[in-house]
């Protein structure tokens, strides 16, 4: 099994920054991609950023250069640095790990989620 533990999140004013961190433990050979997804009030869960084991990085269109996802494979950690936060970024952010498929990533493992609230 795989366990994902998140840290970071909280309340920040608009244009501020936050850093989320997630560490995987257990059988980390079960996945080849890690990333962050978010779910706002009344919205579907959306991909924020993904890093594959090979180092390929992709972002959701709404990121628009404001966020950076990075990964330390040796520590099984994925980081999401969020800058220039806006009120519409308010959501529960989930760390996830999964397998790369032709159509995207099959997200199989999930953290508990961390709330990010951006006040305007």
Burial of 18 (0-12, 13-18, 19+ CB in 10 A): buried
Q: Which of the four pLDDT bands, split at 50, 70 and 90, describes residue 103?
A: confident
pLDDT given for residue 73 in this prediction? 85
pLDDT digits (tens, 9 = 90+) for 20-72: 999 999 999 999 999 999 999 899 999 999 999 999 999 999 888 999 999 99
pLDDT score at 31: 95
Using only the alpha carbons of the chain, give its radius of gyration: 13
Q: What is the pLDDT of residue 64?
A: 83
Beta strands in the chain (DSSP E): 2-7, 10-13, 18-26, 33-39, 46-52, 57-59, 67-72, 77-82, 91-101, 104-110, 114-119
Separation between Cα atoms, residue 68 and residue 78, nearest integer Å: 10
Q: What is the mean pLDDT of the chain?
A: 95
Model pLDDT, residue 44: 95
């Amino acid at each position: 099994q795989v366990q994902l533990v998140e840290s970071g999140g909280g309340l920040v004013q608009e244009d501020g920054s936050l850093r989320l961190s997630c560490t995987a433990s257990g059988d980390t050979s079960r996945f080849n991609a890690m990333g962050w997804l978010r779910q706002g009030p009344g919205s579907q869960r959306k991909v924020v950023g993904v890093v594959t084991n090979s180092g390929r990085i992709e972002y959701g269109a709404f990121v628009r250069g404001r966020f950076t996802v990075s990964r330390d494979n040796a520590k099984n950690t994925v980081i999401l640095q969020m800058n220039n936060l806006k009120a519409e970024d308010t959501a529960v952010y989930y760390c996830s790990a999964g397998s790369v498929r032709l159509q995207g990533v099959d997200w199989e493992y999930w953290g508990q989620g961390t709330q990010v609230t951006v006040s305007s």
